[in-house]
Chains A and B, each alone.
Chain A
Amino acid sequence: MLQSKNKVASLATVSIKKKRIGNLAIPILTVCIAAFGVLMVYSASFYTAQAEYGDAFFFMRKQLIGFCIGIPVMVGVAFIPYKKLQKLKWVALAVSVILLALVFVPGLGVTNYGATRWIGFAGMTIQPSEVAKYGFVIFTAAYVCKNPEKIKNFVGILPILGVGILLCVLIILEPNMSITMCMGMLMLSMLFLSGVRFKHFIFLMIPVIVAVPILIILEPYRLQRLYAFLDPWQSPQGEGYQLIQSLYALGNGGWFGKGLFHSMQKFKYLPFAESDFILSVIAEEFGFIGIVCLFLVFGGLIYAGIHTAAKCKDFFGFLLASGITAVYAIQVVINALVVSGAIPPTGLPLPLISSGNTSLIITMASMGVLYNISRGEKKKEVAV
């Protein structure tokens, strides 16, 4: 009895030490993945960049800049106590909503590929929906934390739903179906993890399930994409083209891949090879083995996130950590399923790897927060 008590005590000491250092796997894996991303953006884009911009390093340089900004941001955020975010719930929400709304301001909104998803200023473009995902996580975590008992009844959930739906509507209007889906899944994840009653949770699932077909029917291009997904070979030059090209890349990869820089599909065959479909190029150059290794790394980061949440004694920290992890994990999974043709194609980046600075910097920053959570709170350490 006494012996076991000592054992617990000694374990506690170890855990205190660990907490101070935090889970170094989070920043290390993040930097490794992002660095790999820079390399892959180059590999996937040098040919088209040379052809279109006369500069093989066009996309790679941008990504490198994002990476270079991302590291200090991540490090900086890692030293800001995450608890401060709890007070910023309204700020986070307001920033998210304002940025999303700015997209619709003429002159500020930037339209690409028929969707207005970016706002531009000072020669830079940022994608507000990337910010909004984290804004929602912060808001929800802080809201639930304030009075955890509230969400045990249905009325208490409504503010979260309201905010979630507001953000979803703003993102749908861009339109950006994939981020909307992400946001919906994030909302469900957050509600699930914050402890809403199971029957409420099931009840909430229903409108989500109903919403999907309605949203698809509203926009004919989504229906076409669905057809293309069900049988891409029906229109190999039309709607099915992108998926087919992605599958070709995967097929060409085989077990071990063609080797770095040796993808054939990046020679203009595969659209968005450096962004949404970069995983196809990775699969082509590094093969199935490479994909398994890469996903083990992704899995390691996700596990580190969940582990951080699990270890966090603080409910806000728990929700924030699991929310950040959920944002990352959901995107990884959806992107992989899209690229392999398991779900209909949507434009969603592979976080930390796909070309796109907003996503890269914000994701790295979120990992900084996650690391901060893993370090624990000084006060509590002292208390122990």
Chain B
Amino acid sequence: MKKMQIYSSSVIRKRLFAFLILFAFLFILIFVRFFYLQIIDRKKLLQLATEQWTREVPVVASRGNIVDRNGKIFANNQTAYSVFVRPNAVEDKEKTAESLATLFGLDAAKLLEKMTGKKVSEITAVRHISKAQVVKLEGQKLSGVYYAKDNIRVYPFNNTLSQVLGFTSVDNVGLTGLEKYYDKFLRGINGEIGYETDLIGVEIDGDFYYKPAVNGLNLQLTIDYDIQVLAESALQKVYQEYHPKSAQAIILDPNTFDVLAMANYPTYNLNDIPRDDAELLNQLARNKLVSDIYEPGSTFKVLTSAANIEEYIRGNPNAFAPEHIFSDARTRTVLGSTIKCWNEHKDGKHSHQTLADAIENSCNPIFTDIALALGKDKFYEYLQLFNYGAVTNIDFAGEAQGMILQKNMATLADLARIAFGQTVAVTALQLACATAAAINGGYYYQPRLVQNIIDNTGNIHQKFTPILKNRTISEEASKMLRGYLEAVVESGSGNKAFIEGYEVAGKTGTAQKFENGALAQGKYVSSFVGFFPARQPKYLALVIVDEPQGAYYGSVVATPVVGEIFKGIIDLKNIKPLK
């Protein structure tokens, strides 16, 4: 009552009261504003603030190892460190730059320039330094300088399996080969340690957190290190003898399509990659067996033979019986186009040939006869069954699918040539797989390079079992074909791969190269696809020699290489001869 009397005693007292009300109102406004910021908006503000309070030091995940089928290590990591500088937290920039330059052989002026740049909160001074260097660095006690583990990818066998393994970036990201294809398994997840720091990055006695790294998973390949080395040294030998542009070899287990070896020559050292020469690197790093296509030539006759045998067994009247004697003529003319045998058909050579003889002699016109007799539709059915013109789906990036004329585009003249491996382009992998699918009883599997993904406790994280894509021909047809191909090595063009008591079988191939749409004189691709033992094949090898000098027949250049590899495998696995 009394207060009211005083306040209302004059205009002035009323105004004082208004003044009080005004400030009461302003105080309420302040409370509302603080409530909004401190309670309602808190989460958002705190999240942003936390980002500015913490500095993270990465905890690098170890990249998974790559091992061969027996556990031999193809790729692993060497512990190394990287050194970072937070310029804001550096006390004496010039001295720090000087010290770091001396320690690691860097350019002090450049380092100082980087450190004085205004926009960066952190710079990488040097990567991949050793533990010993880190100890030295610690001794210097430089403020604003810190280091973190940063592994180096190492390949203990340097040049071995290079194109298949591939390589990583300096940040350990897979760039090519299996390193790229399986990167998501190999790379792991980096962790970090977060420290609370003041504005300029000086650590304070605050909270810190540790988020451990999740190391990458390991790959167990189907590759057999010993066989790989065998193949590579055999290629090196043929390379030195015939000076080709390149040579490749692929060795499969025909029963599972496990790739046991995949070799390209010339090769390069994965621990010393020519990163500065992109063109050279691209050339050397290319896995030609998977990514490049070539005209196969006579090795393709395996398909034509298989088609005929299977159709004969099925009772197709157009197929030729094993005892059928083909025409002795050297040439066939189809739609005005002449097909010739490589042999002159003189002095009784290539006469009275059965299919077996034709395979042994690699007589081109006979296969033309078969293809034309079976007809385009039937023949294309077999092309498809043997997966030509389509990727094999091997676990490797950048697979080519080959080139097969479209069925409706192909003339009979084309068909006549495709029958013995011309006007068709395939990858080496396709040819090896198709051949394996013809001689293994007629099973086409998906080829693979990795059989298991193994976690860091040694348990299998993921298992890849062989995947049967389709049947090709019957067991019976396959068996017959194996017999014919064994004869090729025993007494035909493949005799340089013969090994007494091991039933080596195979087919040679010599294809003239096309360049700019015309036959290139003197440029050949010599190849041989072989397997053993013929009655129950365990190993299949395809060797390709691109543009050999001095000799060019597959039988001369490529066949001995397969023979050498098979001998090596026999020694290695201590395989007893068959009786």
Find out whether the CB atom of A251 lies under 8 angstroms from the CB atom of B199.
no
In the complex formed, the residue of A with least CB distance to B17 is A310
Find out whether the CB atom of B6 lies under 8 angstroms from the CB atom of A311.
yes
Cross-interface CB contact of B35 among A288, A306, A341, cutoff 8 Å: A288
Produce 1/0 per residue, A118-136, CB < 8 A to B: 0000000000000000000
Contacts of B49 in A (CB 8 A): 248, 251-252, 264-265
Cβ distance B396 to chain A, nearest Cβ, rounded Å: 47
Produce 1/0 per residue, A283-294, CB < 8 A to B: 100011001100
Produce 1/0 per residue, B510-542, CB < 8 A to A: 000000000000000000000000000000000
Bound form: Cα–Cα A195–B200 in Å: 54
Interface check B103, CB cutoff 8 A: no
In the complex formed, the residue of B with least CB distance to A246 is B37
Find out whether the CB atom of A195 lies under 8 angstroms from the CB atom of B15.
yes
Interface check B27, CB cutoff 8 A: yes
Find out whether the CB atom of A340 lies under 8 angstroms from the CB atom of B15.
no
Q: How large is the interface on B (under 10, 10 to 19, 20 to 34, 35 or more residues)?
A: 35 or more
Interface check B16, CB cutoff 8 A: yes
Produce 1/0 per residue, B11-50, CB < 8 A to A: 1110111011001101101110111011101111110110
Produce 1/0 per residue, A45-64, CB < 8 A to B: 00100010000000000000
Residues 326-376 of A at the B interface (beta carbon under 8 Å)? 326, 329, 333, 336-337, 340-342
Bound form: Cα–Cα A195–B16 in Å: 10
Cross-interface CB contact of A291 among B6, B13, B26, B34, cutoff 8 Å: B34
Residues 159-187 of A at the B interface (beta carbon under 8 Å)? none
Interface check B204, CB cutoff 8 A: yes
Find out whether the CB atom of A250 lies under 8 angstroms from the CB atom of B53.
no
Q: Is the interface of B mostly helix, strand, loop or mixed?
A: helix
Residues 262-283 of A at the B interface (beta carbon under 8 Å)? 264-265, 267-269, 283
Cβ distance A117 to chain B, nearest Cβ, rounded Å: 25
Cross-interface CB contact of A268 among B17, B46, B48, B199, cutoff 8 Å: B199
Residues 219-271 of A at the B interface (beta carbon under 8 Å)? 247-248, 250-255, 264-265, 267-269
In the complex formed, the residue of B with least CB distance to A299 is B27
Find out whether the CB atom of B12 lies under 8 angstroms from the CB atom of A342.
no
Contacts of A306 in B (CB 8 A): 16, 19-20
In the complex formed, the residue of B with least CB distance to A8 is B2
Contacts of B29 in A (CB 8 A): 337, 342
Contacts of A326 in B (CB 8 A): 19
Find out whether the CB atom of A267 lies under 8 angstroms from the CB atom of B198.
yes
Find out whether the CB atom of A254 lies under 8 angstroms from the CB atom of B39.
yes
Residues 47-75 of B at the A interface (beta carbon under 8 Å)? 48-49, 52-53
Max count, chain B CB within 10 A of own CB: residue among A267, A298, A309: A267
Interface check A1, CB cutoff 8 A: no
Contacts of B206 in A (CB 8 A): 264
Interface check A318, CB cutoff 8 A: yes
Q: How large is the interface on A (under 10, 10 to 19, 20 to 34, 35 or more residues)?
A: 35 or more
Bound form: Cα–Cα A336–B16 in Å: 22
Contacts of A341 in B (CB 8 A): 33, 37
In the complex formed, the residue of A with least CB distance to B9 is A310
In the complex formed, the residue of B with least CB distance to A251 is B45
Contacts of B16 in A (CB 8 A): 193, 306, 309-310, 318, 322
Contacts of A288 in B (CB 8 A): 34-35, 38-39
Q: Is the interface of A mostly helix, strand, loop or mixed?
A: helix
Find out whether the CB atom of A269 lies under 8 angstroms from the CB atom of B19.
no
Cross-interface CB contact of B23 among A247, A250, A291, A302, cutoff 8 Å: A302
Interface check B268, CB cutoff 8 A: no
Contacts of A194 in B (CB 8 A): 12
Residues 193-234 of A at the B interface (beta carbon under 8 Å)? 193-195
Max count, chain A CB within 10 A of own CB: residue among B12, B200, B204: B12
In the complex formed, the residue of B with least CB distance to A289 is B38
Contacts of A336 in B (CB 8 A): 30, 33-34
Cβ distance B195 to chain A, nearest Cβ, rounded Å: 12
Max count, chain A CB within 10 A of own CB: residue among B3, B15, B38, B49: B38
Interface check A79, CB cutoff 8 A: no
Cβ distance B13 to chain A, nearest Cβ, rounded Å: 6
Find out whether the CB atom of B6 lies under 8 angstroms from the CB atom of A251.
no
Bound form: Cα–Cα A267–B41 in Å: 22
Produce 1/0 per residue, B176-202, CB < 8 A to A: 000000000000000000001111100
Interface check A192, CB cutoff 8 A: yes
Bound form: Cα–Cα A299–B24 in Å: 8
Find out whether the CB atom of B23 lies under 8 angstroms from the CB atom of A333.
yes
Q: A318-B12, A336-B30 are in contact. Are A250 and B199 (CB under 8 A)?
A: no
Interface check A295, CB cutoff 8 A: yes
Find out whether the CB atom of B3 lies under 8 angstroms from the CB atom of A310.
yes
Q: A193-B16, A264-B196, A306-B16 are in contact. Are A254 and B2 (CB under 8 A)?
A: no
Cβ distance B199 to chain A, nearest Cβ, rounded Å: 4
Find out whether the CB atom of A247 lies under 8 angstroms from the CB atom of B19.
no
Contacts of B30 in A (CB 8 A): 295, 333, 336-337, 340, 342
The 8 A-B residue pairs whose C-beta atoms are closest, nearest first, are: A251-B45, A267-B198, A268-B199, A248-B49, A288-B38, A250-B37, A340-B33, A336-B30
Which residues of B are interface residues toward A (Cβ below 8 A)?
A: 2-3, 6-7, 11-13, 15-17, 19-20, 23-24, 26-27, 29-31, 33-35, 37-39, 41-46, 48-49, 52-53, 196-200, 204, 206
Could you pull out 11 A-B pairs where Cβ atoms are within 8 angstroms? A247-B45, A251-B43, A251-B46, A252-B45, A292-B34, A299-B23, A306-B20, A333-B23, A336-B30, A341-B33, A342-B33
- Taking A193-B19, A250-B38, A252-B46 as known contacts, 13 extra A-B pairs with beta carbons closer than 8 A to each other, sorted by chain A number, are A47-B198, A247-B45, A248-B45, A267-B197, A288-B38, A295-B31, A299-B23, A303-B20, A306-B16, A306-B19, A310-B16, A340-B33, A342-B30
